[in-house]
Amino acid sequence: MKNIKEVLIYSGFERFWHWAQAGLILFLAFTGFEIHGAYSFLGFGDAVRYHNIAAYLLIVLIAFAIFWHLTTGEWRQYIPTTKNIAAQLEYYVFGIFRNAPHPTKKTALCKLNPLQKLTYFSLKVFLLPATLASGLLYMFYRYPEGGTTGSLTIETLRTTAVIHTACAFALAAFLITHLYLITTGKTVTANLKAMLTGFEDLEGTECEPEAEK
Amino acid sequence: MKKPIIITAALCLTGVILMGVLSGKDVEPGIVAKLKAKYSVKHAPSADHAGFEALKKKFTSPRQVTEACISCHNKRHKEVMRSSHWNWEREEYVEGRGVVYLGKKNAINNFCVSTPGNEGSCAKCHIGYGLDARGKGYTDQNNVDCLICHDNSETYAKAPDKAGAPEAALDLNAIAQSVGRPKRTNCGVCHFFGGGGNNVKHGDLEKALFEPDRDLDVHMASSGSNLQCVDCHTTKEHNISGKIYSLASMNQERSSCEQCHTAAPHGDSVLNEHTLKVACQTCHIPSYAKANATKMSWDWSTAGKLKDGKPYIEEDSMGNHAYMSIKGSFVWQKNVKPDYVWFNGTASHYLRGDKIEDTEKPLVLNPLHGSYADEDSKIIPVKIHTGNQPYDPVNKILIQPKLFSEKKGEGAYWKDFNWEAASRAGMKAAGLPFSGKVGFIKTAMYWPLNHMVAPKEASVKCGECHARSGGRLAGLNDFYMPGRDYSAAVEFVGKWLLLLSLFGVLAHGAGRILSARKHRNGENK
């Protein structure tokens, strides 16, 4: 336990992006499941309207986030790796109950463990694009926008809608586990505090040396 | 450090809500404002007919009035005599059977069934005089009844059972001098009473529309735009636009909402997108028969019961005829929620003499064509009128009974109460075979609803169709509708995924709490 310093692990933009995205996705889930007929709160029409607005905002946010990831090189943090993946899995299944230490060292340059890398990579490369694409198709399905211009012609909305719904269920399941896994940091609140303030008490900033060799 | 994030998040949420509220306008404001301005201009007649010498000489018969009209308007009667209002038929192309001449002259419905043999009575709603079974009335130009449409004195009226002639003792000179553009009263005297009484047939056309309030009809409201029928049913050479599919078959010369409101009348693009598949009427006519009840069902099979050898009438709780010896039993309803069907503007018809394929299931007299897959189809609201009406079980064709006659003994059902005699006389007049046997068959007719448009506040709300169950469109299942439809498999897997995730994290968390306690206890020891 040496060299522990308070390190800035999440930059201002990253935190803004994270929380804005969290808020939008929660809002989209809330309105989306109402549109799906799961419950009635805003009323169908308003639920659709707000869902669409939030969707556009999310697209703008994602565009900024992609730019940020590319320009800062942060995207590299999400490249999946098999190294340590078994150890990480073992930690969540057994080690965590025995007070074992985290098998992966968290640093500013390597802030994701291999399971996180895999999850977030899948989220960003498969699930969110699939949700977005099916959502956009849903919006522009067969409809000439405002009665003026033509657009996509799909025979039925069913496939698009069912894919969009399936994505929503997957995202909701992610959300449940994600919210829980927040508590599995060094302390119960360490991860949450880091995402709110940007700072976490970490040892060093570099990635683990053996990762390089 | 937490504060800026909370503030940002709050700002974002406020932004979403603000955008939502600001984008939440229902109507494209320009269109309605222009229409209101257009229809608030009073119609100025181009001539005062009271000043014309031709209308000052004493009229003793309505035919003299027509003659006087033609003396100036010397070609208009020819237009009238080409119209379906006059001919009671028009050329219709019916898919699968080619061109047919269809109209009141030969159509069969499940109200009073048909006109042949009954002209003397039915002609009360013919725009001519002297209509008889031999069709003589159709060729004489002085038989054109100009006044039934153009009387603006509101005193002209046709006599019942007089082959189209007006009541006696009318001041024909005053009426002739009042003529002008047709008003709701001119059209309404026939079209509001079709089928033998107020609102019997259509459900959305009835006497309350003479002076409706805004809740009953937003267009015709006396205290509002006060639109007259001919404002929408535009007319060229006495050919009036608008079709009712009890008689029409083709998607042409229809009167539509779009002709004024355009195809994109809403401020909200999602609503505008609906117009591709949903007719305006579907959302804007939430219910019909709002002021007085309409006939939903007519059972001819119970007709003919007599009390002391005399026909009688029974009324329902709303004061409508529930039973008439001459017509059978009726079901009336008020404030009816429409049925909904796909419709592409074309229909086919049961034409007289058509063999009934299946006498077990209800015979639809005017099937409306359309489906989700058909690009021209939209969902429209309809009134479905069901009947139980006479048919010939041997020849398997619908019977057109003779109902009306001046005297007993001519076979007319309304005088003699004998189905066999009435059928024999009616089928003879229609030129159809009759086996001598009379049965009854269930029938249905579709009546598209176009009037009684509600104020926008009362239009159908999204959730009334986009609902898991019990929605207005629950019966239309050939397409996926958000809010109603789902994939059972995705639903099943999704729900279990969420439950297992929740259960998983709870179990994991509980395990951690327990193990932490154990460790702490171990350290304490």
Q: What is the mean pLDDT of residues B206-226?
A: 95
pLDDT reported for residue B523: 67
Kindly list the distances between the CA atom of residue B330 and the CA atoms of B42, B297, B299, B387, in Å, as whole numbers in the listed order.
43, 6, 6, 9
Which residue in chain A has the smallest CA separation from B486?
A162
CB contact under 8 A, B8 and A20: yes
**Residue-range domain boundaries for chain B:** 44-106+112-193
CB contact under 8 A, A50 and B511: no
Q: pLDDT tens across B445-472, in order?
A: 999 999 999 999 999 999 999 999 999 9
The secondary structure of residue B286, as a DSSP letter, is -
* CB nearest B505 (choices: A144, A180, A196): A180
**Cβ atoms of A142 and B258 closer than 8 Å:** no
pLDDT reported for residue B74: 94
What type of residue sits at position B155? T
Q: What is the mean pLDDT of residues B494-517?
A: 94
Contacts B8 to A, Cβ<8 Å = 16, 19-20
Q: pLDDT tens across A182-209, in order?
A: 998 888 898 999 999 988 888 777 776 5
pLDDT reported for residue A4: 79
Q: Which tokens hold the place of B212? A: 């409706």
Q: Which tokens hold the place of B22? A: 């600001």
pLDDT reported for residue B77: 95
- Tell me whether A15 touches chain B (CB under 8 Å): yes
Q: Which tokens hold the place of B422? A: 């009435």
**Cβ atoms of A17 and B8 closer than 8 Å:** no
Best CA proximity match to A206, nearest among A106, A77, A60: A106
Q: pLDDT tens across B479-500, in order?
A: 999 999 999 999 999 999 999 9
In percent, the amount of chain B with pLDDT more than 90 equals: 76
Catalogue the long-range contacts made by B324-329 (C-beta closer than 8 Å, 24 or more residues apart).
B325/B417, B326/B403, B326/B413, B326/B414, B326/B417, B327/B112, B327/B196, B327/B298, B327/B300, B327/B303, B328/B298, B328/B299, B328/B300, B328/B301, B328/B302, B328/B303, B328/B388, B329/B298, B329/B299, B329/B302
pLDDT reported for residue B236: 94
B347 pLDDT above the threshold of 90: yes
- Tell me whether A173 touches chain B (CB under 8 Å): yes
pLDDT reported for residue A95: 86
Q: Which residues of B409-426 are buried (b: 16+ CB within 10 A; e: fewer)?
A: eebbbbbbbbbebbbbbb
Candidate from A158-172, B5-19, B103-117, B207-221 with smallest mean pLDDT? B5-19
- Tell me whether A60 touches chain B (CB under 8 Å): no
pLDDT reported for residue A162: 95
Q: Which tokens hold the place of A126? A: 């498969």
What is the rounded CA–CA span in Å between residue B229 and residue B220?
8
Q: Which tokens hold the place of B424? A: 């024999």
Q: How many residues does chain B have?
A: 525
Dmax (CA) of chain B:
126
Q: Which tokens hold the place of B249? A: 């078959």
Q: How many CA atoms lie within 13 A of B429 on its CB side?
A: 27
pLDDT reported for residue B304: 95
* ∠ CA B200-B445-B263, rounded to 5°: 90
B176 pLDDT above the threshold of 90: yes
- Under the banding of pLDDT at 50, 70 and 90, the label for residue B346 is very high
SS (HEC) of B132-157? CCCCHHHCCHHHECHHHHHCCCCCCC
| Chain A, window 122-151: residues with a beta carbon less than 8 angstroms from a chain B beta carbon | 142-148
Q: pLDDT tens across A19-51, in order?
A: 999 999 999 999 999 999 999 999 999 999 999
Q: What is the mean pLDDT of residues B259-268?
A: 90
* CB nearest A176 (choices: B263, B479, B498): B498
CB contact under 8 A, B8 and A158: no
Q: What is the mean pLDDT of residues B163-184?
A: 94
SS (HEC) of chain A? CCCEEEEECCCHHHHHHHHHHHHHHHHHHHHHHHHCCCCCCCCHHHHHHHHHHHHHHHHHHHHHHHHHHHHHCHHHHHCCCCCCHHHHHHHHHCHHHHCCCCCCCCCCCCCCCHHHHHHHHHHHHHHHHHHHHHHHHHHHCCCCECCCECCCCCCCCHHHHHHHHHHHHHHHHHHHHHHHHHHHCCCCCHHHHHHHHCEEEEECCCCCHHHHC
Contacts A146 to B, Cβ<8 Å = 264, 269, 272-273
What is the rounded CA–CA span in Å between residue B195 and residue B31?
37
CB contact under 8 A, A196 and B373: no
B302 pLDDT above the threshold of 90: yes
Q: Which tokens hold the place of B278? A: 């949903």
Q: How far is B241 from chain A (nearest CA, A)?
A: 25
What is the rounded CA–CA span in Å between residue B148 and residue B138?
16
Q: What is the mean pLDDT of residues B219-225?
A: 93
Q: pLDDT tens across A100-147, in order?
A: 888 888 888 888 888 898 999 999 999 999 999 999 988 877 654 444
Containing B293, the helix (H) or strand (E) segment is none
Q: pLDDT tens across B19-65, in order?
A: 777 666 667 778 888 898 888 888 888 899 999 999 999 999 999 99
**Cβ atoms of B288 and B452 closer than 8 Å:** yes
A53, A92, A153, A193: which to substitute to probe chain B, counting the most B Cβ within 10 Å?
Answer: A53
B512 pLDDT above the threshold of 60: yes
The secondary structure of residue B478, as a DSSP letter, is S
Contacts A24 to B, Cβ<8 Å = 12
CB contact under 8 A, B483 and A36: yes
pLDDT reported for residue A148: 45
Best CA proximity match to B266, nearest among B25, B509, B485: B25
pLDDT reported for residue B197: 92
**In this structure, what are the phi and psi dihedrals at residue A197, rounded to the nearest 5 degrees?**
-100, -20
**Cβ atoms of A47 and A33 closer than 8 Å:** no
Q: Which tokens hold the place of A99? A: 């007070």
Burial (CB count <10 Å: 0-12, 13-18, 19+), residue B40: exposed
pLDDT reported for residue A213: 32
pLDDT reported for residue A139: 84
**Cβ atoms of A180 and B505 closer than 8 Å:** yes
What is the rounded CA–CA span in Å between residue B52 and residue B33?
39
Kindly list the distances between the CA atom of residue B337 and the CA atoms of B203, B477, B484, in Å, as whole numbers in the listed order.
11, 19, 19
Q: What is the mean pLDDT of residues B278-291?
A: 97
**Cβ atoms of B288 and B318 closer than 8 Å:** no
**Cβ atoms of B395 and B434 closer than 8 Å:** yes
**Cβ atoms of A24 and A16 closer than 8 Å:** no
pLDDT reported for residue B135: 67
Sign of the CA dihedral B450, B451, B452, B458? Answer: positive
A21, A57, A99: which to substitute to probe chain B, counting the most B Cβ within 10 Å?
Answer: A99
pLDDT reported for residue A135: 93
Angle between helices A158-181 and A128-140 in degrees, nearest 10: 140
Q: What is the DSSP string of B93-129?
A: EETTTEEEEESTTT---SSS---TT-HHHHGGGSSBS
Using DSSP bridges, classify how beta strands B397-398 and B363-364 pair: parallel, antiparallel or unpaired. unpaired
Q: What is the mean pLDDT of residues B503-507?
A: 95
Q: How far is B243 from chain A (nearest CA, A)?
A: 25
Candidate from A164-168, B175-179, B223-227 with smallest mean pLDDT? B223-227
SS3 B183: coil
Best CA proximity match to B300, nearest among B389, B218, B235, B225: B389
Contacts A165 to B, Cβ<8 Å = 486-487, 490-491, 494
**Cβ atoms of B294 and B203 closer than 8 Å:** yes
Q: Which tokens hold the place of A133? A: 């694409």
pLDDT reported for residue A111: 83
B5 pLDDT above the threshold of 70: no
pLDDT reported for residue B4: 64
Best CA proximity match to B389, nearest among B34, B176, B134, B113: B113
Burial (CB count <10 Å: 0-12, 13-18, 19+), residue B164: buried
**Cβ atoms of B65 and B141 closer than 8 Å:** no
Q: What is the mean pLDDT of residues B378-394?
A: 97
pLDDT reported for residue A96: 87
What is the rounded CA–CA span in Å between residue B504 and residue B510?
10
* CB nearest B462 (choices: A43, A157, A161): A43
What is the rounded CA–CA span in Å between residue B417 and residue B340?
38
